[in-house]
A and B are shown apart, each in its own frame.
Chain A
Amino acid sequence: RKEVEQDPGPFNVPEGATVAFNCTYSNSASQSFFWYRQDCRKEPKLLMSVYSSGNEDGRFTAQLNRASQYISLLIRDSKLSDSATYLCVVNSRDSNYQLIWGAGTKLIIKP
């Protein structure tokens, strides 16, 4: 079983719709969680950290469910520019610095 699992998609969503991704992680001791975004042929970029109480940044909301070991990302009022691959990331049990990366969920926003 992979340490971080995501639905690879693609999710094809009309502009203006709300879309949600989930991600599950295997290490119950993980303490830090993140969503990164990667555009086609570009580098990954940090989108947002995920806090225990859930957090929001504009149209983006991230939530953590420790009991079920999953993380979610909700995008409201989706824009064409939201088209990208969204990577779920969790800190490694073996290191204070190493991250474990999901394979990513591809999102395509259609006009």
Chain B
Amino acid sequence: DAGVIQSPRHEVTEMGQEVTLRCKPISGHNSLFWYRQTMMRGLELLIYFNNNVPIDDSGMPEDRFSAKMPNASFSTLKIQPSEPRDSAVYFCASSPRDRPYEQYFGPGTRLTVT
């Protein structure tokens, strides 16, 4: 079975550019989570969706960050404009309805903003 799929795996961009990260959750999972991980701050939850609806976006750092989940099989995280401090690994995770705490992570997108 396919796991969580994320693209791109690596992204290098210049400050001020728009960045879009993509995620395909595991089929049948109804919760989707976007995380950011850095050495300084560890793993931080940015936003999560349940049945495609955003439930809690309190972790989104600023208005420059936005996330969408137009259907059960696709989500995006957009940063516009990007800044060097956004450099991090961004993970997408999904979990099944009957075991919401069992989160399955994608391989992550390593973002570098210069």
Residues of A within 8 A of B (CB): 32, 34, 42-46, 49, 87, 91, 94-99, 101-104
What interface size band does chain B fall in? 20 to 34
Q: Which residue of B lies closest to A31 (CB)?
A: B101
- A residues in contact with B108, CB < 8 Å: 43
- B90 to chain A minimum Cβ distance, whole angstroms, is 11
Q: Which 7 A-B pairs have the closest CB atoms?
A: A43-B105, A103-B42, A101-B43, A97-B100, A32-B101, A44-B105, A97-B31
Partner pick for B42 among A32, A42, A98, A104, CB 8 A cutoff: A104
Chain B facing A: main interface SS:
strand
| Contact string against A for B residues 85-106, beta-carbon threshold 8 Å, 1 for contact and 0 otherwise | 0000001000100001111111
Known: A43-B91, A43-B106, A99-B103. 13 other contacts (CB 8 A): A32-B101, A44-B43, A46-B102, A46-B103, A46-B104, A87-B43, A97-B31, A97-B48, A98-B48, A101-B42, A101-B43, A102-B42, A103-B42
